[in-house]
């Protein structure tokens, strides 16, 4: 779905390009951290840090790795 006019897309792009590479990078990191906080808030509060990492793995990467690969990574995370 594309609900932004070409004029607004250009204006937004131009505004972003006025920022330094570092500023754009930091904006992206801020957005990633906000998304991570939202995902973490959906988990039960009483789970361990390694269980949080494993749940994040499956939430973020379930379409990028096979189930076998995910299980191997999860095993590694649970041992670290």
pTM: 0.74
Give the per-residue pLDDT at 16: 97
13-71 tens-digit pLDDT: 999 999 999 999 999 999 999 999 999 999 999 999 999 999 999 999 999 999 999 99
Query: Would you say residue 1 has pLDDT above 80?
Result: no
Beta carbons within 8 Å of 43's beta carbon, 6+ residues apart: 52, 55
Q: Closest Cα to residue 77, out of 26, 42, 29, 65?
A: 65
Give the per-residue pLDDT at 2: 85
């Amino acid at each position: 779905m594309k609900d932004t006019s070409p004029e607004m897309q250009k204006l937004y792009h131009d505004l972003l390009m006025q920022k330094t590479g570092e500023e754009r990078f930091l904006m992206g990191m801020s957005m990633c951290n906000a998304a991570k906080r939202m995902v973490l808030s959906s988990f039960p509060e009483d789970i361990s840090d390694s269980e949080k990492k494993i749940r994040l793995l499956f939430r973020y990467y379930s379409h990028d790795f096979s189930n076998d690969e995910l299980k191997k990574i999860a095993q590694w995370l649970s041992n670290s």
